[in-house]
Each structure stands twice: as structure tokens, then as C-alpha cells.
Structure 1
Amino acid sequence: MQISGKTVLLTGGTAGIGEQMAHQLKAKGATVIVTGRSAEGLAARRGEGFEAIAADLSSPAGAQAILDALGDRPIDILINNAGQGVDHDFREAVPDADATDDCIYANLNTPIRLMAGLIPRLKQRGEAAIVNVTSGLAIAPRAGGPVYCATKAALRSYTQAIRAQLADTGVHVIEALPPVVATQMTAARSGSKMAPEECARQIIAAIENDRTEANVGMVKLLKAVHSASPALARKVMLRF
């Protein structure tokens, strides 16, 4: 896909991977509309010339706020990038049920609502794309983050089914699976982390090359291990 001249809706575009994608897409000639819930982040993107929509995606109001702000304008690329983590480890404490619901809504329900709202107009563009950012944890979960892993696995499954549904249209459906990336969400975690700039670059390359999956960084290795032995992949990842 040629990115220049396209209009992109990018959720979670005020920080981390999303911020980097916004800048890289704009540099390639796209018009980028970002969403976020940080007033400071939204102001920063507006100051850089982006249109920015305020939306908390952990409830139905978030997706609706985005759709209302867009009106009936054409969108060529929808990138469901926004993600939310939640503490959910019974070895440490009883999880917060409300925080769990917020995570499920932000990571799964909102992307589905946005796709439902935008696929009809994406179909009208002739050439369009949906990019759902899941995680390497959609392939095999880690023990300390079962809800986050479950939402990403669910979005992976949904993405595969939607890709089949849209196969005869001009809407290309891509899943991006990042590894651990140096963002606010992973700030408390130790170990090696990919730079968000490089993660964004690989996801955008997948869009340009019409790929169906972008297995980013170490996720390539995880995918290979999982293909050879799903049980081994689960065993390794559950340690984290």
C-alpha cells in the first residue's frame, strides 16, 4: 500500500509506539488523526500539526466519541494501537474486577466497535487497511498478565476471522505483534526492550508491503518456536 495521501485513524497516538507511528506516517505523506486520553499528550500532538481526538477507550463512550468526531469523513487506514494493562495476579492480591473490565474493553471491545463503525467506509476507498496491534503474548501467555494476554489473543482470533470476511474487498487486514517495547506500560519491567521507533518502523513496513502479519523483533523467534512446539512456547512464556 502507498501511504502517501492516505488518511489514517490511529488510536493511542499520544505516546509510545503510537506516537512514533504518527510521526513516521506523517513523514511518509499521510494525514494522521490520533486519539488519546492524556491532555498533555493530545496538546503535544496538536502542537505538531496532528488532529487529536480525546477518548478514554475503556468504555463504550470512547469509541463513540471517536466516531462522532470523525463524522462521515473518509478513512483509508484504521490502526487499533491503543492498549491497556491491568494487575491480575492471584499470587499477589485479589484482582480489581473494575480494572479488569476496563482492560478488556479497551483492548478488545473498542477495536471491534471501531471496526464495525468504519468498515463500511473503508470498503468504499478501493484500497484500505485495518491494522490491529496485538502482542507476542497473543501467541503464548505470561503467567503474570492473564487478562492482557487473553484480550490480545482474542483480538488475534477476531483479526484472522475478519481478514477472511474481507478477503474479496479492498480492505487489507494486518495483525502487528510487538515484543516487549520500552513504553509507559512496561516501565516497571526489567530486561531487554525494543525501542518504540523501531517497532513503529516495522509495523509501517508491513502496511507498505501488504503483509498480513508483522511479527516484530523477538516475536519472530517466538512464532517459530510455537510453530514447532506450542507446548514449549507456552512453557517458556509462562515463566515471565
Structure 2
Amino acid sequence: MNLQGKCALVTGGSDGIGREIALQLQASGAQVIVTGRSQEKLRKMAGLGFATLAGDLSTAAGIDTIVDGIAGKPLALLVNNAGVSSDYDPENPETLDSATHCIRTNLDAPIALCTRLLPLLRAQPQAVIVNVTSGLAIAPRSGGSIYCATKSALRAYTQAIRHLLRDSNVRVIEALPPIVDTNMTTARQGRKMSPHDCAAEIVHGIRTGRHEINVGMVKLLQFVHSISPALARRVMIKF
């Protein structure tokens, strides 16, 4: 996709990977609208020339706010990037609220936005949906069961609607980042990819027409999985 002049919506675009995607889309000439929950972070993005929409995507009202805010605009690129983790523990029923919040944000919201914004995307000569999943959609880790489940489900959804929209003007992309150095991963140890480098691979994939963007070390995970799914699962479950 030629990004010059394109109207793009990036959810979770005021922080982390989403912020870097928004900045790089803007640098490529796109007119970018970002969503987020933090008014302070959105004000900073507005100061950088972005249009902003505040809304909590775990709620129906938040999704309505985003859909209403984008109505009538020539939307050509939807990046479903917003995501949260969960502290769900199967031995603690009190963590079910955390699980529900994660499912609503990571899975229900992208499905709702794809569905409700598709008429705007179909109205353009060329349009793209990018659903940001995770390497953990390929093989899960035990410490993030709900997060992994949402990303795996979003991966399946993305593959299915790509087929359903195959003869339309809307291309559907899945981006699968590795562990990235963001607020969500502050407590995680080990090697982390920078948000800038992760976003650069995603934006490059949008430009070049990729259907699946395996980012950083996910390329290796995907290779291992192609040879032995069982080996990939054994490696990742303790990651």
C-alpha cells in the first residue's frame, strides 16, 4: 500500500508499539488517528499532529466512541493494535474479571471494529486491516494463558476473514510481534525488541503487501513450528 495521504486508525496508538506504528505511518505521509485511554498521552500525540480519540475498548461505549469518531472519514487502514495482559490464575476466581477485560480488549474489540468499520474500508479503492497478534498465538506460554488465548483466537479470526474478503478491495494482514520492550513487559526479563524496530517491520509489511508479518524472533518460532509444532509448544510453554 502506498501510505501517502491515506487515512489510518491505530488503536492503542498513544503508547508502545502502537505509538511507533503511528509515528512511522505519519512519516510515510499517512493521516493518522490514534486511540487510547490516557488523556495525557493523547494530548502528547495531538501535539505531534495526530488526531486522537479517547475510549476504553473493553467497553461497548468505548467502541461506540471510536466508531462514531471515525464516521464519514475516508478510512483506508485499520490497525487493531490495542492490547492488555491478564493476571488470571485458574486457582483464583477473583481473577476472572481480569480475564474478561483481556478478552474484551484483545479479541472482542478488534472483531467489533473490523465489522463496524468495514463499510468505510470497502468505500476506498484500496484498504488494509492489520490485526496485531503475537508470537504467542503460534505457541502459548503458561504464564499468560488468557493473553495467549486471545491472540490465538484473533489469529484464527484474521485468517478466516482474509479468505472471506479475498475478492474485495480489503487486504487483511496479521502482524506477530515477539516480546517487545513496552509497559506491558516491564516485569519480564530477557531480550526484548524495541518498539521502533517492531513497528518498522510492521509498516514495511503493510507497504509491501504481506499477508503475515512475523516480526523479529517470531520468524524463528514460525520456522520451528513448521517443522515440529510439538517442539515449538514445548519451548514456548515455559518461556
Q: In structure 1, the residue corresponding to 2:174 is in which secondary structure? A: strand
- Gapped regions of structure 1 (runs ≥ 5): none
CA contact (8 A) 1:89 1:145 kept: no
Q: In structure 2, the residue corresponding to 1:194 is in which secondary structure? A: coil
Q: Say if 2:101 is the partner of 1:102.
A: yes
Q: Say if 2:49 is the partner of 1:21.
A: no
After superposition, the C-alpha distances for 1:72-117 in whole angstroms (9 at most, x for unaligned) are 22200000000010112347x5551111111000000000110111
After superposition, the C-alpha distances for 1:152-174 in whole angstroms (9 at most, x for unaligned) are 00000000000001100111100
CA contact (8 A) 1:178 1:217 kept: yes
RMSD: 1.0
- After TM superposition, list the pairs within 5 Å mapping 1:168-179 onto structure 2: 168-179=167-178
Moved over 3 A (4+): none
Alpha-carbon distance in 1 for matches of 2:73, 2:60: 21
Q: Deviation at 1:58? A: 1.1
1:11 paired residue number? 11
Q: In structure 1, the residue corresponding to 2:75 is in which secondary structure? A: coil
- After TM superposition, list the pairs within 5 Å mapping 1:127-142 onto structure 2: 127-142=126-141
Q: In structure 1, the residue corresponding to 2:32 is in which secondary structure? A: strand
In structure 1, what residue type is equivalent to 2:224?
V
Normalised to the residue count of structure 2, the TM-score between the two structures is 0.98
Q: In structure 2, the residue corresponding to 1:76 is in which secondary structure? A: strand
- After TM superposition, list the pairs within 5 Å mapping 1:189-204 onto structure 2: 189-204=188-203
CA contact (8 A) 2:10 2:32 kept: yes
- After TM superposition, list the pairs within 5 Å mapping 1:52-63 onto structure 2: 52-63=52-63
Alpha-carbon distance in 2 for matches of 1:95, 1:24: 40
- After TM superposition, list the pairs within 5 Å mapping 1:142-157 onto structure 2: 142-157=141-156
Q: Percent identity?
A: 55
Alpha-carbon distance in 1 for matches of 2:63, 2:110: 8
Q: Say if 2:23 is the partner of 1:38.
A: no
Q: In structure 2, the residue corresponding to 1:29 is in which secondary structure? A: coil
Q: Deviation at 1:70? A: 1.5
CA contact (8 A) 2:88 2:98 kept: no
Alpha-carbon distance in 1 for matches of 2:55, 2:48: 19
Q: Deviation at 1:34? A: 0.1
Q: In structure 1, the residue corresponding to 2:85 is in which secondary structure? A: coil
Alpha-carbon distance in 2 for matches of 1:216, 1:95: 35
Q: Deviation at 1:71? A: 2.1
2:114 paired residue number? 115
In structure 2, what residue type is equivalent to 1:32?
V
In structure 2, what residue type is equivalent to 1:47?
G
Alpha-carbon distance in 1 for matches of 2:57, 2:123: 26
Q: Say if 2:233 is the partner of 1:234.
A: yes
2:183 paired residue number? 184
Q: Deviation at 1:68? A: 1.1
Alpha-carbon distance in 2 for matches of 1:121, 1:15: 26
